[in-house]
Amino acid sequence: MSDSKALFGRVAVVDGMSEHPAVEAILAWNPDALTDAKFDRGELTLTIAPDEIRAAAQTVQAAGYNFFEDLTAVDWFPASPRFQLSYHILSHGYKERIRLRVMVEEAEPAVESITTVWPAANYYEREVFDLFGIRFEGHPNLRRIMMPDDWKGHPLRKDYPVEGYR
């Protein structure tokens, strides 16, 4: 897997990996939702349009990527769009993992929750909400999970000092 060549960009991945079950499923469902893609160091990353993530999660789940493994965010401050959400989805059948990537704007960052697809995302979305301040619409219990309820700020944002505010 890792010895295959790296592919960067939507066109390269769509041309080079059209047989891949996840790529195939996403293209069959809604080719416009796939805005970017890369295959680097043996890992496939599919960038999904922000308002399509729940449907995209459903699509890859139906395509055999049955296990939600991880969700986290990256703060690319001061770039725009500022936040990147990385969903890691594992397939028990293919023994393979894909990454769904969503770029979120800085102002009022919010995406749809995928807890209806995988209830396991519950804690992960709360963690991202707590530490990055990204809201998940439709989450059943979106409240802070690590920090106290009355905490100010979101510690994993890049403009939050490592030592905290003194």
Partner 1 sequence: MAGSVGTPILEAPVAEGASDQHLVLNMGPQHPSTHGVLRLVLEIDGEIVIRVYPEIGYLHTGIEKTCEAKFYQQVIPLTDRIDYLSPMANNLCYCLAVEKLLELEIPAKAQWTRVLLAELTRLNSHLVWLGTHAMDIGALTVFLYTFREREEILRLFEAVAGQRMMTSYFRIGGLSMEPPLDFFPRVQAFIQTFPEKIDEYSNLLTGNPIFVNRLKGVGPLSAADAIALGVTGPPLRASGVDIDLRRDMPYSSYEKFQFKVPISTAGDTWARYLVRLDEMRESVKIIQQALDGMPEGPIKADAPKIVLPDREKMKTQMEALIHHFKIVTEGFAVPAGEVYQGIESPRGQMGYYVVSDGTAKPYRVHMRNPSFATLQAVETMAKGRLLADLVAVIGSIDIVLGEIDR
Spell out, one character per residue from 79 to 98, where the chain touches partner 1: x when CB under 8 A holds, - when not. Answer: -------x-x-x-x--xxx-
DSSP string, 53-122: HHHHHHHHHHTT--EEEEEEEEE-TTSSS-EEEEEEEEETTTTEEEEEEEEE-SSS-EEE--TTT-TTHH
Residue among 45, 52, 40 nearest 97 (CA): 45
Q: Which two tokens stand for residue 22?
A: 């996840």
d(C-alpha 122, C-alpha 108), whole Å? 20
Spell out, one character per residue from 38 to 57, where the chain touches partner 1: x when CB under 8 A holds, - when not. Answer: --xxxx-x------------
Q: Please work out the total of residues on this chain that contact partner 1, with binding judged by CB under 8 A.
A: 42
142 binds partner 1 (CB under 8 A): no
d(C-alpha 35, C-alpha 32), whole Å? 7
**For residues 24 and 69, which CB has a smaller minimum distance to partner 1 in the complex?**
69
CB of 122 to partner 1, least distance (A): 6
Spell out, one character per residue from 9 to 38, where the chain touches partner 1: x when CB under 8 A holds, - when not. Answer: ------------------------------
Instruction: Note the residues at the interface with partner 1 (CB under 8 A).
Output: 2, 40-43, 45, 66-70, 72, 74-75, 86, 88, 90, 92, 95-97, 99, 118-124, 131, 141, 143-149, 155-156, 160, 162
